Amino acid sequence: MFLLIFLVVWFGGHGWIAWSLLRPLRRTSPVRNIGILLLCISLLLVPAVFFTRRWATIDPHYSDFISWFAYIDMGVFLVLLPLLALRDLGWLAQRALYRLQHLFSSRPSTSVCDPVRRNFLANGMNAGLIGLTGGMTVVGYQEARRIAQIKPVIIPVAGLNDDLHDFHIVQLSDIHLGPTIKGDYLQGIVERCNQLEPDLVVITGDLVDGLTAQLQEDVAPLQQLRARHGSWFVTGNHEYYWGAADWVDLLPTLGVQVLVNAHEVIRHR
């Protein structure tokens, strides 16, 4: 179901982007032809990379290289589509207000639509949105490549036993190891985690975006985690795209205990 929804949004979104950005351009415009080519590549790139990484045997070096372009492409899409939606909603609201104004006006409208001016304004706004999308994508890329930041959170619990005061839990989530995030990134997270000297480490899903055969070496730093009561893992939705059962079997070999519809009682002190 998720895959079907994704494909509908992906293909439908590309159709909307094409209609919004390319329609005001002249049919003979080289910019329009380049735009059509780029949108066609974008349309096919992400699904092709997903299906080949999931079901085809391909050299991981080539797969990872192409995946970089696919993930950046997806980032551009997820930034540009909402910006276009806001722009188009603004235009619809403006048009509705204009019609309401003249509906209740006793004087007939004398304004004349100038197609040339309208297309010029549309192309100018589209260029601005593309520039804004590029800037936001660059910022997003830089943020995504930074090592995970430590965010201290104090959780007050009424009536908590004195032995559990200052009990330190480190939560790791949404690391998404895959073609663009590798073991060196996880190594940095593990080192920071160990510096905190936690009582417990919990990994709350979306650890991977790949199969065990593709990422077995990249998850190896997890065996270096040190916590008084061990490290624990629960699956997120992304594990189920990449063979969750295999990950459930692999992680305990790295010293990470997996909870599948289960709980564990921890005895502290």
Can you list the domains of the chain with their CATH numbers? 2-145 (no CATH), 162-258 (3.60.21.40)
For the chain, the maximum distance between any two Cα atoms, rounded to a whole number of angstroms, is: 84
Tell me the average pLDDT across 109-126.
78
- In whole angstroms, give the CA distance from residue 123 to residue 145: 33
pLDDT digit string, tens, across residues 233-258: 999 999 998 999 999 999 999 999 99
Residue 207 and residue 222 in contact, taking contact as beta carbons nearer than 8 Å? no
Confidence of residue 111 (pLDDT cuts 50, 70, 90): low
Q: Which residue has the higher pLDDT, 169 or 112?
A: 169
pLDDT digit string, tens, across residues 139-172: 998 888 888 888 999 999 998 888 888 899 999 9
If we measure between CA atoms, which residue out of 82, 64, 81 comes closest to residue 177? 64
- In whole angstroms, give the CA distance from residue 21 to residue 15: 10
Q: What is the DSSP string of 78-141?
A: HHHHHHHHHHHHHHHHHHHHHHHHHHS-SSPP-----HHHHHHHHHHHHHHHHHHHHHHHHHHH
Confidence of residue 55 (pLDDT cuts 50, 70, 90): confident
SS3 per residue for 247-262: HHHHHHHHCEEECCCC
- CA distance readout (Å), 99 to 91, 94, 110, 119: 12, 9, 13, 21
Predicted TM-score (pTM) of the model is 0.77
Q: Is 239 exposed, middle or buried (0-12, 13-18, 19+ CB in 10 A)?
A: buried
Structure tokens at 157: 């619990």
Tell me the average pLDDT across 251-269.
92
- In whole angstroms, give the CA distance from residue 178 to residue 241: 12
Q: Which residue has the higher pLDDT, 104 or 37?
A: 37
